[in-house]
Amino acid sequence: MSAVFKALAKAFGQLADGAVMRVLAKSVAVTLLVFAVLGVGLYFALVWAGTSLTGSSSGFAEAAAAALIALIAAWLLFRVVALAVLQFFADEIVAAVEAKHYPQAAQQARPLPFRRDFANSIRGVGRTLGANLLALPVAIVLFITGVGPVLVFLAVNAWLLGRELTDMAWLRHCGEDPKGNPVARGDRVLLGGAVAAILMVPFASLFAPILGAAAGTHLTHGAICKRQEVGFA
């Protein structure tokens, strides 16, 4: 457990680094752009639907409805979209952490070929989207409890994020076999839970994926070192 908190503290301390800030700016910009495009698309879809059904459209009602739906979608899906976007910038975060804290490992790292990196990103997006969509009906049923949806998404993403955030670093060092992530399952779940909780906090959610990727890199290298020590013992 202490390893996770130490990893998060180290990750937080590197948020101001130029390389990390550039990835943060890109990932936040793309995430917000996704929701902006969603809002515009909803507006035109509602205008078309209104015109088709009634023969006329004021535009104001459709704009208000599109804005409301986009805000609800942002609340429900922000963590999914933010993590999906991060998948395509993850290697830059891992490389920045390794260059500062694990220079020897950084020299030995094997950056993934674009084809494999893209395939891993798509699989990660699919897992994230699929798990959250499966959890959505349960969250809706528990909506009347107030805290039910929060707990459902927290549990799902704790399991999901722990794997995704540590795999980002592990894939650079595992060779051709991506199995065998060295980070203990309990540490992965704890990291995923911490990042999922931060994702639910306004404004803090913007840098939560970056913080998680950096912390996952620290956990992965700590676990690799322990494995090597056991091997040499």
Report pLDDT digits (tens) over 108-130: 877 767 677 677 777 777 777 77
> Cα dist. 233→38, 169, 193, 227, 230 in Å?
55, 25, 33, 10, 5
Please, are residues 43 and 62 in contact by the beta-carbon 8 Å criterion?
A: yes
Please, are residues 205 and 199 in contact by the beta-carbon 8 Å criterion?
A: yes
Judged against a pLDDT cut of 50, whether residue 64 lies above it is answered with yes
Q: Tens of pLDDT along 30-62?
A: 888 887 887 777 777 766 766 666 665 556 666
Please, are residues 2 and 187 in contact by the beta-carbon 8 Å criterion?
A: no
Please, are residues 10 and 218 in contact by the beta-carbon 8 Å criterion?
A: yes
Structural domain boundaries enclosing 98: 2-232
Per-residue confidence (pLDDT) for residue 9, from 0 to 100: 93
Distance from C-alpha of 215 to C-alpha of 49, rounded to nearest angstrom: 46
Judged against a pLDDT cut of 90, whether residue 8 lies above it is answered with yes
Measure the CA angle with vertex 198, ends 151 and 166; round to 5°: 95
Please, are residues 80 and 34 in contact by the beta-carbon 8 Å criterion?
A: no
Judged against a pLDDT cut of 90, whether residue 10 lies above it is answered with yes
Per-residue confidence (pLDDT) for residue 98, from 0 to 100: 92
Number of domains in the chain: 1
Backbone angles phi, psi at 173, to 5 degrees: -130, 0
Residues in the chain: 233
CB atoms within 10 A of CB 139: 17
Per-residue confidence (pLDDT) for residue 66, from 0 to 100: 66
pTM: 0.78
